[in-house]
Amino acid sequence: MKDIKIIIPSHKRASRVRTTSAVYGASLCVEESQADMYQKCNPGIEIITHPDAVVGLARKRDWIIKNVGSCFMLDDDIDHLGRIYIEKGEESHVDPATAYDIIQSTAYAAHQAGAFLFGFSSSPTPISYNSLNPIQMSGYVTGCAHGVLEGSKLWYNPDIICNEDYWISLLNAHHHRYIWKDTRYYWAQKDTFVNRGGLAEFRNIEAEEKDFKLLQKVFGQVVELRKSTGKSNLKHPFQKSLKLPF
């Protein structure tokens, strides 16, 4: 299996892309009309363009997997890859070259296992890491960092506005039953909900509500509203959890 492409979908953040410093060899994927500005602000980085008619992150991701092939997608506000299984005093940040190798080895492992969707931990806290079960083969992969391999039945619903990660995780569970999720690592983001451009241009409570209703309509009661607990407060009333039957 050859190395897969590492793609950073981006929109109107040409001068504020962080992720190219977090991992070696990543390419930016932007609208044709924004390509010159992105190239000017990100010299030496490969720019992959799609038609301006491809609007919204779900449509962009769908265009990427159909036109690029096997790939790993990272949001443009990633600060670094963190190692969760650390001892006290150890450095958790992974250097960009090693981050590239970890992506490629994880993609290869997923391919060997017959999985089409792969990713990493959705939690940065060591307490959530199970050292006896570092590789999970069910559940959810975060939208900010996940990969799709060629040959799958996966696609991104253009009607999903904010929750394409839930869509692709549920669709993968329906068609392929399992994922490959290496919980030893976590991709740390910065300014996800306040950074201008990107998905922030479309994200609001109304969009979250529409996404929740669409996900429940398609996939049923495995999509639930998350309940607030003493450990964590909800950021908005339509935060979701998945109750997959396997």
Give the DSSP per-residue string, 220-231.
Answer: GGGEEEPPP-SS
Report the chain's terminal Cα–Cα distance, integer Å. 29
Convert the pLDDT of each residue in 120-155 to its tens digit: 998 888 788 888 999 999 988 999 999 999 999 999
Alpha carbon distance 172, 149 (integer Å):
12
Q: Which pair of tokens denotes residue 174?
A: 């329906």
Average per-residue pLDDT in the chain? 90
What letter does residue 190 receive in the DSSP assignment? S
- Cβ neighbourhood burial of 119 (10 Å; 0-12, 13-18, 19+): buried
* For residue 93, pLDDT beyond 70: yes
Please state which of the ranges 20-24, 39-43, 200-204, 218-222 shows the lowest mean pLDDT: 200-204
Task: Supply the pLDDT for residue 188.
Answer: 94
Angstrom distances, CA of residue 126 to CA of 85, 110, 140, 141, 142: 6, 23, 18, 18, 17
Beta-carbon count within 10 A of 112 CB: 10
Q: What is the pLDDT of residue 246?
A: 66
CA pair distance 244, 156, nearest whole angstrom: 19
- What is the value of pTM for the model shown? 0.89
Burial code (b: 16+ CB inside 10 Å, e: under 16) for 159-196 equals: ebbbbbbbbbbbbbbeeeebbbbbbbbbbbbeeeeebe
Checking if the pLDDT of 105 tops 90, the result is yes
CA Rg, the chain, in Å? 17
Go through the domains of the chain in sequence order and give each one's CATH number. Answer: 5-242 (3.90.550)
Any idea what DSSP says for residue 74? E
Residue 124 CB neighbour total at 10 angstroms: 15
Answer whether residue 60 shows pLDDT above 80: yes
Tens digits of residue pLDDT in 182-225? 999 999 998 654 455 545 545 678 889 899 999 999 999 888 87
Report the DSSP pairing between strands 223-225 and 240-242.
antiparallel
